Amino acid sequence: MEGNIEQINLFLNFGLPFLILMIAYFFGSYIEKRHFRSIRKREAELLDFPVVSFDTMPDDWNVSRSDMVTGSIVISLDYFKRVIAGLRGLIGGRIKTYEPLLERARREALLRMSEEARTQGYDAIFNVRLETSRLANARRDGKGVAGVEMLAFGTAVKFASRFANSE
Q: What is the pLDDT of residue 164?
A: 46
What the chain holds in terms of domains, given with CATH numbers, is: 2-166 (3.30.110.70)
**What distance in Å separates the CA atoms of residue 65 and residue 120, rounded to the nearest whole number?**
11
Q: What are phi and psi of 54, to 5 degrees?
A: -55, 135
Q: Choose between 20 and 156: higher pLDDT.
A: 156
Rounded mean pLDDT of 9-16? 79
- Tell me the pLDDT tens digit for each residue of 44-64: 999 999 999 988 888 888 899
CB 72 within 8 A of CB 109: yes
Q: What is the pLDDT of residue 78?
A: 67
Q: How confident is the model at residue 140 (pLDDT cuts 50, 70, 90)?
A: low
To the nearest whole number, what is the mean pLDDT of the chain?
A: 84
Q: Residue 165 pLDDT more than 50?
A: no
* C-beta neighbour count of 13 within 10 angstroms: 9
- Tell me the pLDDT tens digit for each residue of 74-100: 987 766 676 777 777 777 777 777 788
Q: Choose between 3 and 119: higher pLDDT.
A: 119
Q: What is the pLDDT of residue 139?
A: 59
Q: What is the pLDDT of residue 41?
A: 97
Q: What is the pLDDT of residue 167?
A: 44
Q: What residues does 124 pair with on adjacent strands?
A: 157
